[in-house]
A and B are shown apart, each in its own frame.
Chain A
Amino acid sequence: MTEEDALKPETVEELRRLRGAGALPAALEARVVAALRARGLIAPRWPLRRFSLAAGIGAVLFLGGYALGSRGGAPAPRPAAPPTFVLLLEEDAGFARGTPEDGRRRVAEYRHWALGVARQGRLVAGEKLAREARVVSADGIRPVPSDGLETGASQVAGYFVVRAASLDEAARLATSCPHLRHRGRIVVRQIVAK
């Protein structure tokens, strides 16, 4: 007796008609894409930007991202997102700017670190800030010097936004950022939830 003898022909045919039957949930695609992006398996939406050494920050590379927490219209129910924290990458006159070759190596360094954070599902956003700036106060508007630093001052050269369970955990995460190896400083603060 062959295998097919065990089933009636109409049953065999009905089984074949089951193939692909059933509508694919429309929201599943967005859910899967978001899950892959949160793990760094899909490139973020904003292009990676390179820093030029002439701008002073040298080899810092930031990934753009977007908030991955609960939003209206999220296709699948998720537990409440952990709090988010901003990592302000500061540099002062002591920041090690390095050579152009150093700059290229640092591009890979920062990118590798950011991808690692993204693969943990922790990276929300990251941006490089241009060196040109304005300081606005009650006294008016004044430009920041062209090298981006005022005497004795430090300047925020960029930021990351990450998810962590606590301020201390976010700070521990920041200790692995390559910015510190180049004598930069990172200020970590929680973003107040709305």
Chain B
Amino acid sequence: MQPESPDEDRRLVERFLRRREEAAFVALYRRHTGFLYALALRLAGGRAGDAEDIVQTAWIRAAEALPRFAWRSALRTWLGGIAIHCAREHLRRPEGRELPPELAAEAHPPALHRRIDLDRAVAGLPYGYREVLLLHDVEGFTHQEIAGMLEIEPGTSKSQLFHARRALKRALQPEAGPAAQRGSRR
């Protein structure tokens, strides 16, 4: 997980809450939206429009709830949890949605195939697996942090990650046929 100075976050939050100053909010936005957007984009299976909507809703909810944030976790962890919940609400029926065209491997040169395969495989994971895999293996959160964000037990996070990685591995198997795809439900 990218290190972000907690002191700087706290200073900006206090400045923002004092006068709801736009400059303070924009500073917070620029510190954390790269992570939020990337997370939202992958949760949304690569759909940029959905990811933007999720990020906007997440920031609205965060700005409303900031006065009650007690700094029991890092700000980034807290924001990630909000984005996760916003994504779940926004995507509603995350399983069974089609992959966006930009993840269609046929349109890309061979050099990108591996990356595309990985993106497609992650996007094709069951939503619960996708959440934990993205938070742990991509964004670097600990199981303790993930448990707080998803309101589950750390043990559940570990179990979900195990199953997510197994499903991902099956989806990435070369020349995957129907048998190999059974472990990676869409």
- List chain A positions with a Cβ less than 8 A from chain B: 3-4, 6-8, 11-12, 14-16, 18-22, 24-25, 28-29, 31-33, 35-37, 39-43, 45, 76
Contacts and interface: CB of A to CB of B under 8 A. Distances in A.
B60 A39 contact: yes
Interface size range on B against A: 35 or more
B8 interface: no
Given A18-B118, A19-B139, A24-B34, 18 more contacts: A3-B158, A3-B161, A3-B162, A6-B166, A11-B168, A11-B169, A15-B133, A19-B140, A20-B34, A22-B37, A31-B52, A32-B29, A32-B55, A36-B63, A39-B63, A40-B20, A43-B20, A45-B22
A43 B22 contact: yes
Contact of B138 (A19, A29, A35, A39): A19
B38 A41 contact: no
B7 interface: no
Contact of A28 (B56, B168, B172): B56
Given A15-B118, A15-B138, A42-B20, A28 B52 contact: yes
11 contacts: A8-B169, A11-B118, A18-B118, A18-B138, A24-B37, A25-B48, A32-B55, A32-B59, A32-B60, A36-B25, A36-B60
Contacts of B140: 16, 19
Contacts of B166: 6
A20 B38 contact: yes
Contacts of A33: 22, 25-26, 29
Given A15-B138, A20-B35, A36-B25, A25 B52 contact: yes
B19 interface: yes
B144 to A, nearest CB: 15
Contacts of B34: 20, 24
Contacts of A42: 20-22, 25, 63
B10 to A, nearest CB: 19
Contacts of A18: 38, 42, 118-119, 122, 138
A16 B42 CA distance: 13
